[in-house]
């Protein structure tokens, strides 16, 4: 059987329900899976839950449940969370399963038979919260390096001769530079190993929960020894003859806290001792943080995946697209080298800038203009070389990022196509070509549809439902092969297009403090209506003198020296003009680009802070007097009259 591409996430500890930190690793691995499937590969994705250990037993006792009932219940919350994020995992392993216990005991026996495991007395500190043995020198004020309470342990246990693998590990790191990623964390591992490895205690006195040591039922296998074996157990090892079709794993994805001591040292040493191949790549990303703290169940500062999805459903997205918004945010915010602040407000800013303003605008503008100028069909005309080149550059960028497992960089590629397309539309001005009866119009509109099709194909691994929604409006099937992306033949002239319907409506998500995953999402704040005062009546003829037009913002920047003013470049039909608006405290300039607004188009120019303003935006005020920009509730032709 040919070797399949085998991707894994860590198995998640079931001492509480999942949050976006857990979803991050799983969604990123799923994006990789979908990408490689698009490349034509047979891919297998494993995830699951870690259900052994003293911490689990104590959590179950605190909850007043039997351990098995407790882990059954919590494990299902992870299944629901991952299913709810459209994760296409192929196997969900639980360490309480017989297949896992059997593989763990078999590997333990193999290593003991080979002389790599021996019986000795352990006396020292144990961090129950992290399920980690702690050196005397690492204990400060009665706490472990992770800040957890430690317990003094004195008992006879089994030890793994990790110290004997120090030189072999260092040699493997040097010979396989892609084994540990990213580079900065790989350097930390090398430094850690060079300081000297000590043998690891790999059993505990049997508390009535865990996998018994083979031939020694008074002890259970240390949770970190048995947890690592899940990747091997899921292949069917040692009994299934087909296990080598998966093993070795191509990529182990995880967060940084379980990297150095376990996945980068203990796990490869265990495999070396058993004579088994090592995984090809082990990747440790950073943490999602909220303020100065790691997103953590124990701190109660988590953002739950379902809360994120529900917020975007409430804001106007379909549930399928709301799921994709969560997936996009997780992939886009991936803290590959460093930690990343993750909040509802940050996700909303990125959503509006990338998906609503850039990608959504590109789709709506392209379809609307195809219907207005070309009767809703793809016109005859050559797809312009500059856009083909931009698409191919984005495709190469996606490939390079995925080859380095930098998923957060790969997701920029389809957005870059949308940005290039929006600029192309502004430059080529199809409305002007249509008015002039230019023969170039067909080429421009077909080029627009081509670019949108390619952007939808590239975003599919991240946002599969949104890609399907975009392709449904184009009335084109999904591109199922990587080599099709960028092929102009996939947008045939004469093809009838669907109507433009916003896939990514702009949202206003109120900034909220992080909350425990068990809490319900806080409702959005209701704005109290400002008191209406008397207004002077005027004749219709006077009102008719005011020319209100739909304009599109194509550039935006803060005005130096002003806390309130933003300089905007807008297109009003065929015309481009500059407007200065006092909206800096309400809107980030980068979030405004691509947005349609309503302006007073015949106001006499004025100078504000030395900058000429050639019009005025229309806005309402919230209860605090903060401006709320007015905009059409769906895409309107640039420059159209408002009445």
CATH of the domain at 161: 3.40.50.620
Residues 170 and 245 in one domain: yes
Q: What's the mean pLDDT in 583-593?
A: 75
Query: For residue range 370-407, what is the model confidence (pLDDT) as tens digits?
Result: 999 999 999 999 999 999 999 999 999 999 999 999 99
Q: Are residues 454 and 594 in the same domain?
A: no
> In terms of DSSP H, where are the helices of 114-208?
166-175, 183-194
pTM, entire model: 0.80
3-state secondary structure 428-468: HCHHHHHHHCCCCHHHHHHHHHHHHHHHHHHHCCCCHHHHH
pLDDT at 470 > cutoff 90: yes
Q: Using CA atoms, how far apart are residues 588 and 199, in angstroms rounded to an integer? A: 54
How confident is the model at residue 267, as a pLDDT?
Answer: 98
| Residue 171 maps to a domain | yes
Report pLDDT for 471: 97
Say if residues 527 and 623 touch (Cβ distance below 8 Å). yes
Q: Is residue 500 part of a domain?
A: no
Instruction: Find the range with the poorest average confidence among 92-96, 279-283, 472-476, 573-577.
Output: 573-577
Q: What is the DSSP string of 492-512?
A: -TTPBP-----SS----PPP-
Q: Please, which residues bridge with residue 202 across strands?
A: none
Q: 575 and 472: one domain?
A: no
250-259, 335-344, 419-428: the lowest-pLDDT one: 335-344
Instruction: Please tell me the distance from the alpha carbon of residue 228 to that of residue 375, in angstroms, as a whole number.
Output: 60
260 in the same domain as 392: no
Same domain, 84 and 226: yes
Number of H helices, E strands in the chain: 21, 26
Residue in 487, 435, 455 with CA at minimum distance from that of residue 366: 455
Q: Which two tokens stand for residue 319?
A: 């549930």
For residue 27, pLDDT beyond 70: yes
How confident is the model at residue 126, as a pLDDT?
80
Last residue of a domain, one of 285, 300, 315: 285
What is the pLDDT averaged over residues 25-48?
Answer: 98
Q: What is the CATH number of the domain that holds 361?
A: 1.10.730.10
User: Of the residues 432, 461, 490, which one is the last residue of a structural domain?
Assistant: 490
Same domain, 211 and 352: no
In a domain, 311, yes or no: no
Mean pLDDT of 321-345: 93
For the ranges 17-21, 346-350, 461-465, 591-595, which has the lowest average pLDDT? 591-595
- Extract the tokens encoding 170: 């260092």
Residues 438 and 552 in one domain: no
b/e map 125-153, b = 16+ CB within 10 Å:
bbbbbbbbbbeeeebeeeebeeeeebeeb
Say if 168 falls within a structural domain. yes
Question: How many CA atoms does the CB half-sphere of 458 hold within 13 Å?
Answer: 32
Determine the structural domain holding residue 454 and report its residue range.
343-490
278/350 same-domain check: no
- Residue 545 CA to residue 538 CA, distance in Å, equals 12
Give the confidence band of 70 by pLDDT, cuts at 50, 70, 90. very high
In a domain? residue 312: no
Report pLDDT digits (tens) over 232-244.
999 999 998 899 9
Domain boundary among 236, 263, 285: 285
What digits encode the pLDDT tens for the residues 115-135? Answer: 999 999 877 888 877 777 787
Establish if 526 belongs to a structural domain: no
φ/ψ of residue 621, rounded to 5 = -120, 140
State whether 95 and 33 are in the same domain: yes
- C-alpha distance from residue 609 to each of 32, 79, 113, 303, 554 (Å): 49, 57, 81, 42, 21
The residues near 222 (Cβ < 8 Å, ≥ 6 apart) are: 131, 200, 201, 202, 203, 204
Residues 269 and 370 in one domain: no
Query: pLDDT class for 524, splitting at 50, 70, 90?
Result: very low
Query: Is 176 found in the same domain as 92?
Result: yes
Structure-token match 């400002």, residue found: 530
| 428 and 553 both lie in a single domain | no
CA distances from 324 to 130, 455, 468, 469, 478 (A): 33, 15, 11, 11, 17
Token digits of residue 169: 């590990």
pLDDT tops 80 at residue 476:
yes
Residues 617, 550: Cα–Cα separation, whole Å: 10
CA distance 319 to 317: 6
CATH at 605: 2.40.50.140
* Tokens read off for 140: 């400060």
* CA nearest to 377, candidates 485, 515, 496: 496
Structure tokens at 193: 């190993």
* Bridge-based pairing state of the strands 5-13 and 251-255: parallel
Please provide the average confidence, as pLDDT, over all residues in the chain.
89
pLDDT bracket for residue 521 (50, 70, 90): very low
Number of domains into which the chain is organized: 3
Whether 308 is covered by a domain: the verdict is: no
Percent of the chain's residues with pLDDT above 70: 92
Residue 274 falls within a domain, yes or no?
A: yes
Average pLDDT on 532-543 reads 68
Check residues 463 and 21 and name the one with the higher pLDDT.
Answer: 463
Range among 295-299, 383-387, 547-551 with highest mean pLDDT value: 383-387
């Amino acid at each position: 059987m040919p070797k399949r591409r085998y991707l894994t996430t860590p198995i998640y500890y079931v001492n509480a329900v999942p949050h976006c930190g857990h979803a991050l690793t799983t969604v990123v691995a799923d994006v990789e899976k979908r990408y490689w499937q698009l490349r034509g590969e047979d891919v297998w994705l494993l995830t699951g839950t870690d259900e052994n250990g003293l911490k689990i037993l104590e959590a179950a006792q605190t909850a007043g449940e039997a351990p098995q009932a407790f882990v059954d219940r919590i494990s299902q919350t992870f299944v629901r969370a991952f299913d709810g994020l459209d994760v296409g995992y192929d196997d969900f392993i639980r360490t309480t399963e017989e297949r896992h216990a059997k593989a763990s005991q078999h590997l333990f026996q193999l290593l003991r038979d080979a002389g790599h495991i021996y019986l000795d007395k352990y006396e020292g500190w144990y961090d129950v919260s992290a399920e980690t043995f702690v050196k005397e020198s690492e204990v400060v004020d009665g706490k472990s390096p992770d800040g957890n309470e430690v317990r003094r342990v004195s008992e006879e246990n089994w030890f793994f001769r990790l110290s004997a693998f120090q030189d072999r590990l260092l040699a493997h790191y040097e010979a396989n530079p892609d084994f540990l990623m990213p580079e900065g964390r790989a350097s930390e591992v090398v430094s850690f190993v060079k300081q000297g490895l000590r043998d690891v205690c790999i059993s505990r006195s049997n508390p009535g929960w865990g996998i018994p040591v083979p031939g020694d039922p008074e002890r259970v296998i240390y949770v970190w020894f048995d947890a690592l074996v899940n990747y091997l157990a899921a292949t069917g090892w040692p009994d299934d003859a087909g296990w080598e079709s998966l093993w070795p794993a191509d990529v182990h994805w995880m967060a940084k806290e379980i990297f150095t001591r376990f996945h980068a040292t203990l796990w490869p040493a265990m495999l070396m001792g058993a004579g088994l191949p090592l995984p090809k790549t082990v990747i440790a990303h950073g943490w999602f943080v909220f303020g100065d703290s790691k997103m953590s169940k124990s701190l109660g500062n988590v953002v739950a995946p379902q809360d994120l999805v529900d917020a975007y459903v409430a804001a106007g997205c379909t549930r399928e697209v709301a799921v994709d918004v969560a997936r996009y945010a997780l992939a886009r915010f991936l803290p590959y080298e460093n930690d990343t602040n993750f909040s509802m407000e940050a996700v909303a800013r990125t959503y509006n800038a990338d998906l609503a303003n850039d990608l959504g605008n590109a789709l709506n503008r392209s379809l609307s203009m195809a219907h207005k100028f070309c009767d809703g069909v793809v016109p005859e005309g050559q797809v312009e070389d500059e856009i083909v080149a931009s698409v191919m550059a984005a495709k190469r960028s996606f490939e390079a990022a995925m080859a380095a497992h930098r998923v957060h960089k790969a997701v920029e590629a389809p957005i870059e196509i949308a940005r290039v397309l929006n600029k192309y539309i502004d430059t080529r001005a199809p409305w002007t070509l249509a008015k002039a009866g230019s023969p170039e119009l067909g080429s421009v509109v077909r080029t627009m549809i081509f670019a949108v099709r390619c952007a939808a194909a590239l975003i599919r691994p991240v946002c599969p439902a949104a890609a399907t929604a975009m392709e449904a409006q184009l009335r084109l099937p999904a591109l199922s092969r990587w080599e099709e992306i960028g092929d102009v033949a996939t947008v045939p002239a004469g093809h009838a297009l669907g109507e433009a319907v916003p896939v990514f409506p702009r949202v206003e998500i109120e900034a909220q403090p992080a909350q425990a995953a068990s809490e319900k999402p806080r409702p959005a704040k209701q704005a109290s209506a400002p008191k209406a005062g008397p207004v002077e009546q005027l004749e219709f003829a006077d009102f008719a003198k005011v020319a209100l037009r739909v304009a599109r913002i194509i550039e935006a920047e803060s005005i130096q020296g002003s806390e309130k003013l933003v300089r905007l470049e807008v297109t009003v039909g065929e015309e481009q003009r500059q407007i200065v608006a006092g909206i800096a405290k309400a809107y980030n300039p980068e979030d405004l680009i691509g947005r349609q607004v309503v302006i007073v188009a015949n106001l006499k120019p004025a100078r504000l802070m030395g900058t000429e303003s050639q019009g005025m935006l229309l806005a309402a005020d919230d209860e605090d007097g903060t401006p709320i920009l007015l905009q059409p509730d769906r895409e309107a032709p640039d420059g159209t009259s408002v009445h």
